[in-house]
Structure 1
């Protein structure tokens, strides 16, 4: 991802939230989201020079159609081998076309090469489509659940894990 991709990525994130979280978050909040504000935030992330977060884009002939980012796990006390998928979004028209799968494959390959073979991510509990996607990619719920507030509404999330640190009382869903 380059600085020039930030506007397209911000629009993908905005459309992704509006599509994926319809009915799971207040519509007024989703409608009020600003691609311009997130564009500036992304530019800041890319310009900070730390290199801690890796951003990837998927492109088709018409431009950027997907975005993913990962970096070190943000959980306090997480081991150095544990990474976190911070985001993965695809424009709604490209869902189920392989774009998300390609982004996830590239993300996991790069994370492992970077010394992060263990990956966590948080997914909104009611986002069944995303949960199926992550399970097909080898992730599975590993126990923790948390909620965050969006416009006065509690939104529950489930943590998923992929890699050597997973411990299951039952096998993951194929």
Structure 2
């Protein structure tokens, strides 16, 4: 935890799945409201942010899930998820890991939480023996893209994915560990 921050990071367990599902949906809504249709956001969150997914990710030996909590009361305000890569547009190998998710609620912007989550993800990936971290980010999310580039990530590909009625473009980034 940062000396100036009122949050802390902890490794998530299956018991954190419901909290992670909630904060994941809130972060997705904050990020994509006004970009995607509301009905599509709700349907996507119900499917992609189901507690079972977070439970499975937390229990997977080849990945890590970290939750960021407010120090006073332990309310979740952000998280990161490392998994085996699922990026068909890029060739991957056994030493690769995907930063599938890294989000914070807007109340945490400027507190150092994003860089702390990234630093922990990099530490965890190296601890798992990984040599390269990959991630996909919405091409129109300039804030996130600038953050990843500042962390040293470089573009290695592109992909498209469907969220309801909207076909979204992603940029795929990689960082050698």
1:41 to 1:74, Cα distance in 2 relative to 1, 3 A: closer
Aligned residue in 2 for 1:42: 54
Secondary structure at 1:126 match in 2: coil
Find 2:155's aligned residue among 141, 150, 153: 141
* CA positional deviation for 1:74: 2.7
Contact 2:100 2:135 in 1 (8 A): yes
Secondary structure at 2:93 match in 1: coil
Secondary structure at 1:88 match in 2: strand
Secondary structure at 1:80 match in 2: coil
Secondary structure at 2:50 match in 1: helix
Contact 1:24 1:126 in 2 (8 A): no
CA-atom RMSD in angstroms: 2.2
Aligned residue in 1 for 2:19: 8
* CA distance, structure 1, for counterparts of residue 97 and residue 42 of structure 2: 31
Structure 1 length as normaliser, TM-score?
Answer: 0.82
Aligned residue in 2 for 1:171: none
Contact 2:14 2:56 in 1 (8 A): no
Report whether the alignment pairs 1:153 with 2:163: no
* CA distance, structure 2, for counterparts of residue 114 and residue 46 of structure 1: 14
* CA distance, structure 2, for counterparts of residue 13 and residue 99 of structure 1: 15
> Residues 5-25 of structure 1, C-alpha deviation per residue, up to 9 Å, x if partnerless?
112211111011111112332
* CA distance, structure 2, for counterparts of residue 82 and residue 46 of structure 1: 18
Find 1:87's aligned residue among 92, 101, 104: 101
Contact 2:134 2:174 in 1 (8 A): yes
Structure 2 length as normaliser, TM-score?
Answer: 0.81
Unaligned runs of 5+ in 2: 1-11
* CA positional deviation for 1:34: 3.4
Report whether the alignment pairs 1:162 with 2:175: yes
Unaligned runs of 5+ in 1: 165-174
* CA distance, structure 1, for counterparts of residue 56 and residue 64 of structure 2: 13
Find 2:86's aligned residue among 45, 65, 74: 74
* CA distance, structure 2, for counterparts of residue 104 and residue 72 of structure 1: 17
Mapping of 1:112-123 within 5 angstroms? 112-123=126-137
* CA distance, structure 1, for counterparts of residue 129 and residue 33 of structure 2: 36
Q: Following TM superposition, where does structure 1 have runs of at least 4 consecutive aligned residues deviating by more than 3 angstroms?
A: 31-35, 44-47
> Residues 138-157 of structure 1, C-alpha deviation per residue, up to 9 Å, x if partnerless?
11212x21111111210110
1:75 to 1:17, Cα distance in 2 relative to 1, 3 A: closer
